[in-house]
Amino acid sequence: MNTKVLIVLALIIAGIAGWFFQQQGKIEPPINIEASEVDYEATDIKAVQTNEQGETEYELNAESLTHNPQTNEDVMSGITMNWQPSDEQRYIIQSGTATINQASGDLHLYGGFSLLSEDKVSSDIEPIKVTGAALKGNTKSRQVYSDEPVKVEQGLNRFEAASMKANLETGEYEFGQVAVSFTPAERQDKALF
């Protein structure tokens, strides 16, 4: 073969490759790389928070945790929190998803929650269980509230309320627009003498 033919053939192949690259090399739309809103992530979380005296205030277990540095919030999923804000009260809180701001103590549980209150002093008092869709509160002030309907159970007693406020340190609850179903015992006529 002639060298001139090989050079012309190589130039034609290079031209076709260049044209193909120009047609196929464009990315529509262009990739836009932005800074992430997450600075760290973790799974299978087990954390302990202590108070100023070094006593355990709450223990937290979560399936996953993501920290957002812009809002300084931790977003957790699958949480179980064992909270002991005082010597008299203990709470077990479970939720599908929660956000907590470590600096301010603001807490928001959503995706369903369960709040179980146990009296550590007297075992005669039945635990109170409150369930609902969302719960907000503050770990520093030890106050929680829900503006959405909640269901409350204590032993055989059950009722629903449109809202709830609670002071977890003292164990005091306040419910708004309570709806109760009352079924009295069957009447039995008996002689008194």
C-alpha torsion 150→119→48→95, nearest 10: -20
* Segment 40-71, tens digit of pLDDT: 788 888 888 887 888 887 888 999 988 887 78
23 phi, psi to nearest 5 deg: -75, -40
**Superfamily name with CATH number, domain 40-179:** Lipopolysaccharide (LPS) transport protein A like domain (2.60.450.10)
Token digits for 74? 């931790």
pTM of the predicted model as reported, rounded to 2 decimal places: 0.68
Q: Pick 2 or 128 by higher pLDDT.
A: 128
